Structure 1
């Protein structure tokens, strides 16, 4: 729950900065899609949340 909330906040902040600076390109579209999947409870959200959890676990082991 904490990781998913953090992901929503992170993607939301990145998306807000990109929209403000008008630099919403391909990377921004990916951030927007990830933000939407994390924010909403869709059928694809569990798979994306699992991928984000795996990434967070991997990064916590490295750092």
Structure 2
């Protein structure tokens, strides 16, 4: 499946807007899931995975 970057950016902006106005309900959660699925189909998936791994490693090393 080929997904254009513009579709991913458009869905990302829509999710950001919904979170910003604090109006995230079940259909919006489904939209967020669709965004994640489409993002995983793009070339950005390895970058997102490495960023998430780095953040989780950093948070795992924090001691309070």
TM-score by length of 2: 0.55
Moved over 2 A (4+): none
Greater Cα radius of gyration, structure 1 or 2: 2
Q: How many residues align?
A: 40
Gaps of 5+ in 2: 42-64
Q: Which has the higher helix share?
A: 1
TM-score normalized with structure 1 length = 0.55
Unmatched 5+ stretches in structure 1: 42-63
Q: C-alpha distance in 1, partners of 2:31/2:10?
A: 10
